[in-house]
Amino acid sequence: MTTLKTTNFAGTAWVRKFADRLLAECNDQGEHPWVMERWAYVPGMQLMALAQAGEQLDRPEYMAFAKQHMDTFVQEDGRIRTYRLEEYNLDQINQGKNLFALHGATGEPRYAEAAHLLAAQLVSQPRTSEGGFWHKKVYPFQMWLDGLYMASPFLAEYGKTFDRPDLIDEALHQLLLIERRTRDPRTGLLYHGWDESKEQEWADSSTGLSSHFWSRAMGWYAMAVVDVLDHVPVTHRQRGTVVGIFQRMMGALVRVQDADSGLWHQVLDQGGRKGNYLEASGSCMFVYAMAKGLRLGYLEANFTEPMRRGYTGILRHLVTEDEQGIHLNRICHGAGLSIDRNGSYDYYISEAVVSDTPMGVAPLMLAVLEVERVQ
């Protein structure tokens, strides 16, 4: 097995290898590949990365693949197979981000109807006393950083596409509220979750906050902020505030970036602690957000070097190639907050560490494409 080097491997060729493998794997699985099993945030993100790769690299087969698999869910009348609005689950919004490009490219009404259905969920989503979206109906009064990526970019793009400026306002409100509620003033990092009711086992009894800064949770939020800004008018009264908190957050992340590898740890501020490890998905998300922030002028030039160190670190330490193909390693399989997921340090480092899952590969592809654009 060989580790890839930035000096001899083009980023776009790297993305093509991952994309081509995805197409081959799904074709090999026959009629029921994993991306078709249910409407969900992980396959939705992988399809979004694939479609973006198709557009940026002029590979129409990638966009056709994404459309084919979206069409297995979106019915002619706009109903979505396996989706239930009444679950009020923010995770189920993420795959809907693919609807806007499909509607723009084809003009088919079913994509707009499906987007209207998902927007209807968000309009009636259960909320905290300050209007913050519950992460799910089954997680009452809880806001998680994860949910901001799932819902806010969709809501902002929906508001722009269908002339609903009030929903752009709502997307920004969600971003600003959770940042205010979860930000640690000492480190500038954001805690994974907040329970307004302070009832959950993982929540501090006085603040309602979870205990640690999970890399991928902050990665979700960083991507959410930079993606929402794509759809916010430059004249919006809160745009500058959101850009400001994005730069402040990126500064906090640079301070905990590993000096040797350029990557980020599973528990961000515990780099030297036993059991902690350099984690792939969060590192890819941070590189994506930083590169996009640089390209669009949200970040100053002093962030260029940390972004490049992160990108180089991904190639040198996380991506390998062997006779089976190309691999992304050290991906946290998943983490959350619940009775059996108490948000402790030991919990975060105990979750399975895997390779090649879309939870890491999709952010990787998005990061590479964005770095290619900024360079």
Q: What are the catalytic residues?
A: 146
**Backbone Cα Rg of the chain:** 20
Alpha helices in the chain (DSSP H): 11-28, 41-57, 60-71, 98-106, 109-123, 145-161, 165-182, 215-228, 239-255, 280-295, 304-317, 345-350, 358-374
Whole-angstrom distance, CA of residue 86 vs CA of residue 52: 31
For the chain, what's the residue count? Answer: 375
Residue 88 to residues 116, 121, 214, Cα–Cα distance (Å): 15, 6, 24
Instruction: For residue 74, give the 3-state DSSP assignment.
Output: strand
Q: How far apart are CA 315 and CA 331, in angstroms?
A: 14
Cα gap 375→371, rounded to integer Å: 6
φ, ψ of residue 104 in degrees (nearest 5)? -65, -35
Tell me the torsion sign for CA atoms 171, 357, 84, 26: positive
Residue 241 corresponds to which tokens in the numbers above? 């505030």
Q: Whose structure tokens read 């029921």?
A: 32
